[in-house]
């Protein structure tokens, strides 16, 4: 049991470090353009102070933390040269974890759009019924 817990903690630290490394990569001019866009998107989402699916939603709430963010990191890692990523990881070890206002804005926009679409559909249903 203890080994599993230590492995989970190590994995979480690695994910946090890699998210910061992607944040750094998105701002570095040596990062390829496609990798820069993907790194910015993954970092903005992961560093946003709110989640697309709130954690209190059973099962789905932790889906982004356990599946979406790691898969996004894996995708971006394939787009960034290994030597460059090693440099970003080393820099991330010395950098405090930032927060993403862009990610926050996008997630709020998605929630507002979903609420508007739901409201529109509800109004159509009421008017037709």
pLDDT tens, residue by residue, 81-129: 999 999 999 999 888 777 767 777 877 888 889 889 988 888 888 888 6
Q: Do residues 107 and 52 lie in contact, with contact meaning Cβ atoms separated by under 8 Å?
A: yes
Q: What is the mean pLDDT of residues 16-32?
A: 93
CA pseudo-torsion sign 62, 22, 75, 12: negative
Residue 59, phi-psi category: left (phi > 0), alpha (psi -120 to 50), beta (remainder): left
C-alpha 17/C-alpha 11 separation (Å) is 10
Q: Where are the domains of the chain?
A: 2-128
Question: Which one, of 24, 42, 58, lies nearest residue 103 by Cα?
Answer: 42
What is the pTM for the complete model shown? Answer: 0.73
pLDDT tens, residue by residue, 59-85: 777 777 778 889 999 999 999 999 999
């Amino acid at each position: 049991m203890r080994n599993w817990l230590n492995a989970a903690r190590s994995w979480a630290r690695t994910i946090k470090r890699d998210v910061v490394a992607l944040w750094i990569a998105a701002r570095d001019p040596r990062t390829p353009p496609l990798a820069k866009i993907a790194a910015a998107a993954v970092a903005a989402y992961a560093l946003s102070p709110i989640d697309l699916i709130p954690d209190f939603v059973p099962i789905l709430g932790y889906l982004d933390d356990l599946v979406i963010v790691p898969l996004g990191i894996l995708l971006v890692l394939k787009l960034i040269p290994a030597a460059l990523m090693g440099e970003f990881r080393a820099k991330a070890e010395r950098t405090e974890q930032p927060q993403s206002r862009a990610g926050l804005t996008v997630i709020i926009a998605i929630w507002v759009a979903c609420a508007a679409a739901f409201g529109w559909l509800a109004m159509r249903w009421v008017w037709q019924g």
